Each structure stands twice: as C-alpha cells, then as structure tokens.
Chains A and B, each alone.
Chain A
Amino acid sequence: MRVRKRSAVAVLAIGVLAVTSACAEGNSGAPAASSGSSNGASAAPSAAYKPAVITLGTAEDSKGPAIPPEGVVKGGTVTMIDRDDFSHLDPAQVYVNTEGNFFRLIGRTLTGYKRVAKGEFKLVGDLATDTGTQSDGGKTWKFTLKDGVKWQDGSPITSADVKWSMERTFAPFVTQGPTYIQQWLTDVDYKKAYAGPYDGKELDAIETPDDKTIIYKFKTPHADASYAFAMAGYGIVPKAKDTKEQYDKEPFSSGPYIIKSHVVDKTMDLERNPHWDPATDPIRGAYPDKWHLEFGFEALQVTDRLMADSGADQTAFTFYGSTPPERLQQVLGDANLANRRMNSPSPYGNYYYFNLDRVKDIKIRQAINYAWPSKQIQQVLGGPAAAALPTTILNENTTVGYESYDLFGKKTKPDGDVEKAKELLAQSSNPTPTIVYAYNQTPVQEQVTVAIKSALAKAGINVVAKPLDRKTYYDSIGKLKNEFDMYWGGWGADWPSGSTVLPIIFGPVADGAPNYSHLKDPALTAEMDKITAETDIDAANTAWMALDKKIQETITPLVVAENRIATMLHGSKVGGAEIDPQMWIVQPDTIFVKP
C-alpha cells in the first residue's frame, strides 16, 4: 500500500540533521547572540519569515532534472568559506547538518527533498523512482532504483550497493551516523544483532530480488520510513570501493561532483562527476562547474569578506557562517545588502529542562513557566531580529501538522506573569522555592542567567546560578544524579515529525541520555509507542502535536526556550543562495555563479 498523499499542504520545515553538539549554544551552525536590540532599517526576520511548506512527492516529481532557480546560469567556480572542515565524508558517519549538507554534492540517498519554489519542498525519490511503497501495515518498504544512476567510474548503482550501504552501518567502526533504520531492521541494540557485512554475513531483513529492487523488512510499522531514508547518514557506498575506516577520506561519488583535492581543514576542490546524469536527479541542480571550499575563517571574517564583496569574494558564499552579534545591526540595517541577505529561524527545539527528580511539584514548574522572562532573554540575544519566542515543544519549522498553543501566556505577557506565578506558588508545596540553575558559562549565558534570576526573584523564587564549563556542560547535565534543578538543552528533529523529538527527549532515562528532565511516565511511553505504530502518517502527526500540548499541560517538564534566527550573506555574483529550513544551512542544490 502506498503512503497516502496528504491532501492539504502541511506547513513545516523538514527534519534537522543535528547532533547534540550541533544543538549546543555557540555551535558551528548556531548563530551567536547579539548584545543589542533590533530596531534597524529592516523588519524583524521572525515576523517576516514564513515556515516552509513540504509535501510528499509523486513518481513524476521524482524525475530529473531539478527545477532551476530564477536566472540560473551554468558554469563558473563558486567559493564557499567557513570555519570548519567536514569531520566525516563517509555517509555512515554523517549526522551533523554541515556534513549532511555537503554530502548532497558527492552522494545520493534513496529519497530526498526537492525544492519546488522558495520555501516549498517535496519529499521525492532520489535514487529511487519514488518515495517507496509500504506494505504489511508499514513494516515492509520497497524501493525501485532509477535507470541511469551511476557511480563516478560509470558503473551502475545497484540494489546490492544500497543493501551493502545499510549493512556497513552496523560495523563497529561506525559510531556517529543515524541509528533509526538499523534498529527498525533488527533491535534497539542493533550492533549486537548484526556486526556488519565485512565477515561475509548478510542482513536478511534487506532483500534484493534483482538489481533494481530493494526491500526493507522492519520489525514494527514505520509509516514515516521514506523520510528516514532521506538522511545523509543513509547515503550509499559501493561495496567494490569500500575501504572501511579509510572510506571517510576517500569517498566514491554518486553525486554531481568528485573531490579533486582536499587539504584537511584548509581547502577542498570539487569538479564535475561525468557520470552523474541530471535527468535522474530531481534534487541537485549542480550549476557551477567547480567548487572551491576554504576553511578556517571565523564568522566575523566570513561576514566581513562577504560584506566587502571584493574580487573573488563576489562569487563566494558560506554554508553556515552566520552574522555575528558585532555585525548584525550593520548587516540588517544596510539597504545595499538586502539582496544578498538571507535569514531563517532555527529548526531546533531549545528547552530549559526541569530535573523532575528534584523539582517534583508541578505547581512550581508551572509558576516558573509563567514567570519566565522570555522578552528579556530575547533582548539579551539581540532582539526580535536574532531570536523568536516559541511556545511549543515541537518546532513549527519541523513539524507536519503544527498547531500553536500558548499555555503560559508567553505571547500576551512575554515579560512574565508574576501574579499568576505567585498564585501557583501559593498553592504549591513551597511558596518560596530555591532553584539551582546550571548554565553554560559563556558571556551571553551569563546575561541570560541574570535576566532569569531577576525575573524569578519577583515571583519569590530564589535562583542559585551554577556556571558550568562549556566543554563539560553536556557531561554535567547528562548525569542522572546531577545537583541541578534546571538547565538548557537542545534537540533537532531528524525529519518533520514529532517521532524524532518526543520519544527521544522523553525516552530512556540514563546517564548521558537526552532525556534531561528524567521524565519517566509509563502512560506517556505507551502513548508514544502507540503513535509510533500508527500507519496513517497524517494521523500520527496530529497525535504528536496533541501530545506536545498534553505533556506541557499535565507534566510541564520544561520551559520552552527562545529560537535563534540566523542571518547570512552571499557574494553579489552568487545566485540561488537560500538557507535550507530543514538544515539551517545554505544548501548547495540551487547555487549558481552569475556572469
């Protein structure tokens, strides 16, 4: 049975390829905070931004070539400047957004996201002829490979290659990629269930009846599997060229470009893959003839170079070099930069978690939610141009069927509702509680902490601030027996569904696990399992959204934190540059060089 096509256009942005570190404050992908408020010439991006629209594409949508952006020109060399090189080129080890974004240039997946217009995307078949066919109630998924898809040496990409690519993700040396499909095929502890293909053993749960067909047999139904297959971590690797750990340095291209040279942490040059056929690829435009990537430049240098727009930098852009605070007002206020400026709110979820082992009274947790100084924190972060104020656990940019709610009056009273907080505290077990708040000791978080401390004090809550070293921050808050009542944490959806958020941040309670609130509720777990098993993807999405509200109403395990907004620039001779709302990074598919 095919996945039912959504009749209505869902408003969302897609899954985010982010690891815990990528969610951390001050990470490579996240914009830094500004110290000033935004009252510049341009409107606040959060107000102007419209969440992306995504639908499930058809077999016809899955045919190449990609839809070209307006004014597209083929040829030339485009330069990309950023801070860090890619730690991994082996798709099996790719999870972070920067690496997943780059992988689009050199590799392909079974499915992928096709840009149909600015802000509009469709999930389509990439190597596959469509987004797959499910049967057995969502437990079996079948894909057929397109004709004419080839490796860089001209040999055809076969179903055996696709199977091999999934099998090798079970190997001991692979520790960083996504784990969803491996667990669906075998067990939660999938590495024990199967050790990878290098000792000659195959994974029976994947069948390849012929060179074009590949069938995955999951243990349980997964209606959203076609989204999971779009993750770069499930990109393909040829068995004949697989060099295990070494493959991370010598990837074999199935995408539009081949790595011509790579000096680690310094430069990388790409040239066209002559065996990539645009007629088979609905996603990648691959308009420049060559790519030159330069690493080692901080966001400030990237911004200054792109603002100056001189010489070779006119054909330059950045994947993730977000405008730093010291340039933000200048960039937002300069009318000359308007047509070279991009902005997009973060697709990540950001939360101030309560440690439920310590803050046991829901009245206190709700009082803190009411008293929370959202607006003051927004000002510290740079004002509305630099941060939006969401009210839900699931991010509006990464949730199909998103429904807004505002349980604690953040929109009506963004400064905090002290009276309501006091009222709740009066009904609680302790009207003047002391809250130990742990924070990442950065200059911005110092200011945020002052705002929190001051605002909660007005409601009668004494905040004891505990600064933590940024290097050990996650290790400290990840300990089950930590001595903190509240702390910040982030999470990014892997595809546009609550299924990659709620079951994770409220999943297993263990040291180092992302369930930082230590929420352990059998009824909640049962409800999440029930939604995960739902075969109707639309019904599942609606249920996730409803569960989001229910969790905040009945448990209140967290305060929803601010959502950063990235602002980036590109050179005047770069066309088609857009921040991908799913990865929060400038995607390469539409980039072209103007003459």
Chain B
Amino acid sequence: MARRRKEGSVLRRLADYRKWWYALSLLLIVPGTISLVLFGLRLGIDFTGGSLIEIKAPAGIDADEVRDAFGDKYGDPVVQSTSAGTYQVRVKQLDPEQHNDLLASARKTLGPQAEELRFETVGPSISEELRNKAFLSVGLGSLLILLYIAYAFRNVPKPASSWRFGTTTIVTLLHDILFTLGAFSLLGYFTGMEVDATFVAALLTAVGYSVHDTIVVFDRIRENLIKRPGRRFVDTVNYSIAQTLVRSLNTSLTLILVLVAMYLFGGESLHAFVLALLLGTLIGTYSSIFNAAPLLVSWQLWAEKRSRQD
C-alpha cells in the first residue's frame, strides 16, 4: 500500500519533474536530428521524380541479381527488397515504351513468370508540386492549429493566456514532427525506407492526433483554473495531468493496438504509412502528457520571474 501511494504521488506531480522530461525529449530528438542533418530523408519518387517498378522475382533470386537483370540502360537501378519478398526497382523516369522495353529485358534474365506488381512514374512537374504541397500543408496545418487553440481557449482565466496555450501546442507539435522526421531519416539510412506523399498525410494525422490529446489536457487545466481559483499554477497543472492521465493512456492504447495490428498483419504497401502513424502517435501521447502542460508551467514561472525583476 505504501509503495502504491509513492508511485501515485509521482504521477500526481508530473509537472514538478519537467526538467527530466525536457531532457528525455532531447534524448529522443537529438539522434534523429543529427541523422537529418547528415543523411537527410530518403525521398521517394513522389518527391524526386522517376519511376518505380515492383516485381515479384522467382524464388532464389537476390537483390543483386535483380539489379543486374535490369541493367543500367535507364539509369543505375536502385533495388530494395520488401518484407513481402518482392523487389522495388527505382530508375529514371520512363515513358510507357521504355517501361515495356526495360521489363522485357529484365524478364530475359528473371524469367517470364517475374510478375510486375506495381509501376509508378512521376514527372518533375508533379514531384515539384508534391514537395511544395508537403511544406505548405504542414505549415498551414500548424498555423490553423495555433489560431484555433488561441480561439478555443480565449476565455481562459489569468494568469494563463490563450496565446500561450496555442504557442505551447505548436512547440509540442514541432517536437513531434522533428522526432518522426528524425526517426524516418534513421530508418531511411539503415533500412532504405522511403518517404513519400502518404508519409506527409500520416505525419499530419499523427500531429492532429497529438494536438487532440494536448487539447484534452489543456481543457482540463482551463476548467480547473475556473473551478479552483487561487491555487499555484503548477498544482493546477499537476492535478489536471493526473486527472486526464488514464484517459490519455487508454485512448492511445486503443489506437496503438489498432496500428500495431495493421503494421503486423496489414498489406506491405501500408507499412511505411502505418509506421509513421504509429511513431507519431507514440511521441504525440508522450509529448501531450510530459511536454505540453509542463511547458505551460515553465513559461508561467519565467513570466512571473520577469515581472518581479521589472
């Protein structure tokens, strides 16, 4: 019983340990950020242009043999094996005639039963547009969230301010984006996982979900500030986090159950997409509990300190 009480007391004072959480966040973000700077993201043809052929080679043929079979007539092919036992071959942009030519010459080596499962080709004007839209949608998405939260929390009582709520949400959002991008940079470097247009959708959805989570905690803080005025801000925040903790964990748990099932048993072509959602959801759950509300406390204390100095 005594042990339980102690455990519970940490959970009830989460914001008091905020410096630890900030350190943990740094630990989570720094490796990926270094990878982002050094290796960048491994961009798929959606963003670079080019063609991709997914082929089911007969048993016993490895990636090197597939590469040789395709030859370098249409650019040096980049071959990536998938977990479903197929191969993805990336070459420069092909027109339909070149595509059939390349496929025919590859089949000379691989055998006529080598089945083409998928063929995609993206021209430079499309890839440029997809790149622009990716930046625009992340940027505009963040801006809309900031405005929305500033509006939704407009009647939050002092000492908090709705803009502070909005800005804190954006900081958490950037934290989540940076972590997910970093993770995919590492995955790209070590496993060859590519980032395509659906990755952006997954990232935005996960971010939307993280904001969703953050709002639930903030909503509680607002309610408690109104219902229980005159307490220390940090106590109100601690209390609000504790009240919403079970809900946050349970909701994330259900979502993570679904996503893990989709990752393990779903189609191969969904893997990268589901993984981005999964990582985004995990980090989003963490950041809305351990970063968002504690950041409000840090900001509040900093503002109080500054006003005392003035």
Q: Is B a genuine binding partner of A?
A: no
